[in-house]
A and B are shown apart, each in its own frame.
Chain A
Amino acid sequence: MEPILAAVGIHKRFGALVVLDGVDFAVGRGEAVGIVGPNGAGKTTLLNVLAGSLRPDAGHIELDGADVSRAAAARRCRLGIGRAHQVPRPFGDMTVFENVFVGAAAGGGGPRSEVYARAIEALDACDLGGLANRRAETLGLLHRKRLELARALATSPSVLLLDEVGGGLTDAEADELLATITAFRGRGISVVWIEHIVHVLVRGVQRLVCMAEGRVIADGEPSAVMSNAQVIDAYLGRAVA
């Protein structure tokens, strides 16, 4: 599959700690890839490097074949790399619509009528149409997460980076969110999704990558990766019983 976003030979250290140790990663056009790994594996750092909020010590990032390593996060957002964060931080005293409008204006740009239409479309795609005029700070957790997705979607991404968006939800809520995210792929958007809630993630991605200690240790079909002995050892320590 032709990659839309690729990280090539990424190294990153924080002081003496090597966080990414030669990571190669790519997501294909329209593909959804999950990234799992125990605490400290380097997943969020990789996402930060892809998004441009962290500069790697070595390696480069390609978006649709072009080297975007030197582009800052805001520029990459306009180029098509959208991102939803683990802890949604909406503008609390603005409405749901206004929050999404900010994403549409800052990310996709264009004439005001287009920005407006894109914001509405993102709201609808995330099932927030009925809450458009609610102040964001009055939303519950699931709706905040939907708003975080809608804001990212409104930037017209070709790739969406999701950072543990499923955390803290009930099973039913996680299923709802999963349906929303799965629908993004129908729009041709590629997804890179880090998630601790593995049983939700494996239903939302076609391919799973497992990282441990700054390296990719498995890459393949989700159920095969999750039954890989090396992956289980990375999570659970040495063999049990």
Chain B
Amino acid sequence: MTLLRVEAIDARHGLLQAVRDVSLDVEEGETLALVGANGAGKTTLLRTIAGSHRPAGGRIVFDGADVTRVRAHKRVRMGIALVPEGRRLFPRLTVEENLLVASAARRKGPWDVEAVLEVFPLLRPLRGARAASLSGGEQQATAIGRALMTNPRLLLLDEVSLGLAPVVVERVYASLAELAERGTTIVLVEQDIGRALAVSTRVVCMLEGRLVLEGPAREVTREQVTGAYFGLARTAGAAG
């Protein structure tokens, strides 16, 4: 079943067009890796899906409903959760409080503080610690946990490994694999393409605001990804 349909989205930042006519379907239960160079439009596309950036054109359809004009907080209630780049925790609140803040917008579902601590055991001894005192990896776990607290059907992750030590990245990605196994639909923006492909079912590559490559994560070759990423092989793969 198609959970998310992105239809001919254009998105701008002032004079700059960040996303150009992007169309994309995300099937329920799949993990989609969204890759591309700096400035390709990945974050803007994620934010547009989440409702935190208003598109200049096109439609976002979630679970059959047109949500293009639905505000971000209402999309959370419908089941769309974004883990933004940079994590954006409430620094003075504790880990547990950061998680509980999100439950104000929660849907019915299995996720609660205990369930989050089970997926991220590193947070268990820190539940009373202020977010500001956490390491990067602990903050990232808290940010993902906060999104899970809303019981999302679609989890949007923006550069969750940025600035984290490799061993911490391993841990975060192990948790993502577990979430995917539980049936959560995930769209993942990631610079480390090898890592992203390892947990994804499908990959799309953006270049200067457009989709330039789309395919099953297992079948896409390194040459195809490289060509699409740098725009050096404009014919590589099927354009979306």
Contact = CB atoms under 8 A, between A and B. Distances in A.
Interface of A: 38-39, 140-141, 144, 164, 167-171, 196-200, 202, 226, 232, 235-241
Contact of A38 (B20, B39, B191, B234): B191
Contacts of A235: 37, 229-230
Given A199-B234, A202-B232, A236-B229, A241 B191 contact: no
B197 interface: yes
6 contacts: A171-B208, A196-B39, A198-B230, A236-B225, A237-B194, A241-B220
B231 interface: yes
A239 B197 CA distance: 10
User: What does DSSP make chain A's interface, helix, strand, loop or mixed?
Assistant: loop
Contacts, number: 73
Given A196-B38, A238-B194, A238-B195, 16 more contacts: A141-B15, A141-B16, A144-B15, A164-B39, A169-B208, A171-B208, A196-B37, A197-B39, A197-B231, A226-B232, A232-B222, A232-B226, A236-B226, A237-B191, A240-B220, A241-B221
B226 to A, nearest CB: 5
B114 interface: no
Given A167-B39, A196-B39, A199-B232, A239 B222 contact: yes
3 pairs of A and B residues whose beta carbons are closest in the complex: A237-B192, A199-B231, A168-B16
Given A196-B38, A197-B208, A232-B222, A241 B230 contact: no
Contacts of A241: 197, 218, 220-222
B135 interface: no
Nearest to A236: B193
Contacts of A197: 37, 39, 208, 231
